Homo-oligomer: A and B are copies of this chain.
Amino acid sequence: MIRIGIVGYGNLAKGVECAIRQNPDMKLAAVFTRRDPATVKILTPDVPVCLSSEIHQWKDKIDMMILCGGSATDLPEMTPELARDFNVIDSFDTHANIPVHFANVDKAASENGNIAMISLGWDPGLFSVNRLYASAVLPQGKDYTFWGKGVSQGHSDAIRRIPGVLDARQYTIPVPEAMDQVRSGSNPELTTRQKHTRYCYVVAEEGADKAVIEKTIKEMPNYFADYDTTVEFITADEMKQNHSGLPHGGSVIRSGITGWDGECHQTIEYKLTLESNPQFTASVLVACARAAMKMKNRGNTGCYTIFDIAPADLTSMSREDMLAHML
């Protein structure tokens, strides 16, 4: 049994808790929170909720800590710090800062004989590994990643910070024509605007100037200015009823050529259709926790990514069953 600790208790952590329940070789040992533990009610019976500040008392009682903090401020501190005392995995997803995060975590884990694995989930994560497989198999080709249709939490938050906005939900939607072009093998050069559109549902305060809110959203640099953006105002009830889930997904497509003169076109597409983004990310984390434990038990320490996991390590299946039924 792999004894798992969960750090944090938001949507991702709840997903991890649910995923552990689906894997009979794993056991939730404890949840750690910065809040008053008495106020945090978890789903699993008879599992303690503890203060984050007391986590080091659990050093010999947890095989793997799954860190469910945010990438902006939590994980850059938390993952290297906890990697000194625990085997840890996280879902750090600020792509540009991955090399620095990797180096920090690698140092802490290596010096203390622990294993760490960062940036697990689907992007970074399963999408990354599919980009790698596809580019290795089709070296002459081009990668395209499309996201959605799905809720982008960062973009939703950005809208919520606009004065007069009570609530918002932003859907990222891939442009079907762009995907068709890619699948056709024409290897188009696509601008940001050509690949995705953004659709925003907004609940405004009574009396707020909706025209100003719409203009503010559509002109927001980085987030919306480069996209065709639609803003629709709805009521708080409509928001609750129709947009309370966190669906997401997307496709990684590699379009390449083979043959002596590149005469044959080949396409590899990996597609996720997710009703719950955090639950799926959590399921990836839990499978990778198993792989990390197997790697640790073979003597590996330091920091790794999904690129370093031999797929056989992700499953609890025996080698015999894999060869007979899965290959």
Query: Is A135 an interface residue, CB under 8 A from the partner?
Result: yes
The A contact surface, by secondary structure, is helix
A18-B260 in contact (CB<8A): yes
Given contact pairs A23-B139, A307-B310, A131 touches B276 in the complex (Cβ within 8 A): no
B272-A270 in contact (CB<8A): no
B99, B275, B284: which contacts A264 (Cβ < 8 A)?
A: B275
Query: Is A186 an interface residue, CB under 8 A from the partner?
Result: no
Given contact pairs A119-B327, A128-B327, A283 touches B258 in the complex (Cβ within 8 A): yes
Size range of the chain A interface in the assembly = 35 or more
Chain A 22-60 near chain B by CB (<8 Å), digits 1 or 0: 110000000000000000000100000000000000000
Query: Is A220 an interface residue, CB under 8 A from the partner?
Result: no
Query: Is A221 an interface residue, CB under 8 A from the partner?
Result: no
Chain B residues closer than 8 Å to A133, beta-carbon distance: 126, 129, 311, 314
Residue of B whose beta carbon sits closest to that of A125: B327
B21, B259, B270, B308: which contacts A312 (Cβ < 8 A)?
A: B308
Q: How far is the CA of A23 from the CA of B95 in the complex (A)?
A: 27
Query: Is A279 an interface residue, CB under 8 A from the partner?
Result: yes
Q: How far is the CA of A130 from the CA of B311 in the complex (A)?
A: 9
Other than the given A15-B259, A264-B274, A269-B271, 7 more pairs (CB < 8 A) read: A15-B258, A132-B314, A245-B264, A266-B283, A268-B272, A269-B273, A307-B311
